[in-house]
Structure 1
Amino acid sequence: MSKLSEEDIEKKLLRFPDWEYHDNAIHAEFEFENFKDCFSAMSRIAFECEALNHHPNWNNVYNVLQITLSTHDEHGVTNKDFKLAEAIDAIVVPEEED
């Protein structure tokens, strides 16, 4: 999997409003109602990470989860990071109800 150009990353980020690009990685921060909800989301994300064989750098303090994605083998952001970001968004960002 090849490292994406900054232009390609910025284009892809248009579909990921909770994510931003800096320091050669994409980053997001999610706030939950409480620690239990945050930890529950982290557990569900962990299963997706294992399925994709791609693991984030993340930090959790009480109800806030900070996630950083980059592909270490490629020294930057690849499509693999966006695939995981999409899976994370499906877990932490609720679907809008009709």
Structure 2
Amino acid sequence: MSEPKLSSQDLEAQLVDLDGWTIEADKLHKQFKFPSFVEAFGFMSSLALVSEAIGHHPEWFNVYNRVTIDLTTHDSGGITLKDIEWARKANELA
């Protein structure tokens, strides 16, 4: 069974504590910037392990020292608590 999609009110409440994350195209969105490609890639490698552990995978894009991430739970048709949990972990690792 998939996670329930967050209501607009619940999502807004969660965003208060998610530094730098916004909603773009109905997805949680953030761009991280690092001093180098190696650090950006290391961040992605660490998050790949998180993704496997919680069974939730991002849409992401890397160019040199930037990592752009979009999160949504496709099975639920929107943003869920799994996306919020993943975003919090990304902020911790950055």
Q: TM-score range by the shorter chain?
A: over 0.9
Structure 2 counterpart of 1:45: 47
Deviations 1:5-53 (A, max 9, x none): 1121111000012100121110010000010000000000000000010
Identity %: 38
Q: 2:5 aligns with which of 3, 6, 9?
A: 3
Which residue in 2 is equivalent to 1:95? Answer: none
Asked if the contact 1:69–1:77 (Cα under 8 Å) also holds between the matched residues in 2, the reply is yes
**RMSD value over aligned CA atoms?**
0.7
- Contact 2:22 2:29 (8 Å CA) reproduced: yes
Aligned 8 A contact 2:19 2:91 in 1: no
* Structure 1 runs not aligned, ≥5 long: 93-98
Runs of 4+ off more than 6 Å: none
Structure 2 unmatched runs, 5+ = none
1:61 aligns with 2:75: no
Amino acid at match of 1:79: L
Q: Which has the higher contact order (CA 8 A, sep 6+)?
A: 2
Q: Which residue of 1 aligns with 2:87?
A: 85
Inter-partner Cα distance in structure 1 for 2:41 and 2:24: 26
How many Å separate the matches in 1 of 2:35 and 2:57?
24
